[in-house]
Amino acid sequence: MAQTSPQKVVSVYLYIPNIIGYMRVLMNCVAFALCFSNKTLFAILYFFSFFCDGLDGWFARKFNQVSTFGAVLDMITDRVSTACLLALLSQLYRPGLIFLSLLGLDIASHWLQMYSSFLSGKTSHKDVKDKSNWLLKAYYGQRLFMAFCCSGSEVLYIILFLLAGNQSESVLDVCLNAMKQSSLLSLILCLTLIGWGIKQVVNIIQMKTAADSCVFYDMKRSR
């Protein structure tokens, strides 16, 4: 097998989408460092990092700079940033187990999907053409639909963080009180809840289908 030159390796690290990925990591580090002292700045940095998640993909396709490293960096950044925010929310609201359960579902679902994709020889965990579930195909096949679901989840978590008080409160009570005070906030919460709900259903379906793929892989090997 031909050896890869050090210059080629370095050039991959310096791909434009990968540089955007490094910036996302930095923004998230600063955001969480300031999350309690400056909630507004946290929300701005966190959301801009989330926005750049779509931006790096556009640059990768535009300049033909798609790389496995970039895809892994992108997913790790997504999962870690969402996990950190859910961990924060679990300390600000009761019952905190809700947010910890969402954290576990998010990580388990995506990890299983990545691993089952690897076993199937696929280059991307978003390749679900061979799956039978229509919602999973729509989620990964339609970029706007996927963007709506992901944005709904992240924006909902940011809003909950901004609404959180100094003492632990019921997440349901906080949402209902916020909706009573502002019709615009009510509309935003309803839209984000729809996107969030669909994403959680997709996570459950994805986890089940990925687990089935792992089982089928074992069955094929044992024949």
In a domain, 173, yes or no: yes
What residues does 93 pair with on adjacent strands? 169
What local confidence, expressed as pLDDT, does residue 131 receive? Answer: 80
Sorted by sequence, the CB contacts under 8 Å of residue 148 that are 6+ apart come out as 195
In a domain, 1, yes or no: no
Radius of gyration of the chain (CA): 19
117: number of Cβ within 10 Å: 18
Half-sphere exposure of 169 toward its Cβ, with a 13 Å CA cutoff?
15
State the total domains in the chain. 1
- pLDDT tens, the chain, 223 aa long: 445 666 666 688 999 999 999 999 999 999 999 999 999 999 999 999 999 988 888 898 888 998 889 988 999 999 999 999 999 999 999 889 999 999 999 999 999 998 998 888 887 778 888 888 999 999 999 989 999 999 999 999 999 999 998 777 899 899 899 888 889 999 999 999 999 999 999 999 999 999 999 998 888 887 6
Q: Identify the pLDDT of residue 169.
A: 85
Q: Is the dihedral of CA 186, 167, 28, 114 positive or negative?
A: negative
Residue 206 belongs to a domain: yes
Q: What pLDDT, on the 0 to 100 scale, is given for residue 1? A: 44
Concerning whether 56 is annotated as a catalytic residue, the answer is no
Q: Does residue 207 belong to any structural domain of this protein?
A: yes
Question: In the prediction, which pLDDT does 6 show?
Answer: 66
Q: What residues make up the domain containing 51?
A: 6-221
Please report, for the domain that includes residue 111, its CATH number.
Answer: 1.20.120
Active-site residue, from 74, 78, 173, 212: 78
Domain-embedded: residue 40: yes
